[in-house]
Structure 1
């Protein structure tokens, strides 16, 4: 399954483009712009599994850095600061990674 099977190409491009400048990423605005806020928990889980590149059941810090590329190949890498901010926002249990339920909560909070 591809990201474009779940989200519109136009919303993906607009959302990724809105955060093309370094240090501009805001997960709350991004999740809203890309259309995640409108999706069911089941669709959010499918998106989580696309972003979980190593299929470990978690999105680790090294995968978060490339989250925009998970939506479209022309997305930029997040800076270390942006990555750590996103991890801190999503890692509710403090284990250093974001699980499925944490990701659903992160999207809902956005």
Structure 2
């Protein structure tokens, strides 16, 4: 399954463009712009599984750095600061990674 089967390709392109500058990433605004906020709980989980590149059941810190590439292959990587900020926002249980329920909560609070 690809991201464009779940989300509008033009919305993804605009959202990626809006955060093209380093240290500009705002996950709440990004999730709204790509339309993830409006998706069903099942669709949010499908997006999580696309972003979980190693299929571990978690999005680890190294995967978070490439989260924008999960939406569009030509997107930039997050900076270390942006990655740590996103991890801090999503990692509710403090285990250093984001599980599917934590991801769903992260999207819901956007």
TM-score calculated relative to the size of structure 2: 0.99
Task: Give the equivalent residue in structure 2 for 1:30.
Answer: 30
Shift of 1:12: 0.3
- 3-state SS of paired residue (1:98): strand
Task: Give the equivalent residue in structure 2 for 1:14.
Answer: 14
Task: Give the equivalent residue in structure 1 for 2:101.
Answer: 101
Shift of 1:47: 0.2
Matches of 1:9 and 1:67, distance apart in 2: 16
The RMSD of aligned alpha carbons is 0.3
Shift of 1:79: 0.2
TM-score calculated relative to the size of structure 1: 0.99
Runs of 4+ in structure 1 deviating by more than 4 angstroms, as ranges, are none
Task: Give the equivalent residue in structure 2 for 1:61.
Answer: 61
For structure 1, list consecutive stretches of 5 or more residues without a partner in the other structure.
Answer: none
Matches of 1:34 and 1:15, distance apart in 2: 6
Shift of 1:67: 0.4
Shift of 1:15: 0.4
Superposed CA deviations along residues 45-99 of structure 1, whole A, max 9, x for unmatched, are 0000000000000000000000000000111000000000000000000000000
For structure 2, list consecutive stretches of 5 or more residues without a partner in the other structure.
Answer: none
Task: Give the equivalent residue in structure 2 for 1:70.
Answer: 70
Task: Give the equivalent residue in structure 2 for 1:5.
Answer: 5
Task: Give the equivalent residue in structure 2 for 1:41.
Answer: 41
Shift of 1:104: 0.2
Matched length: 110
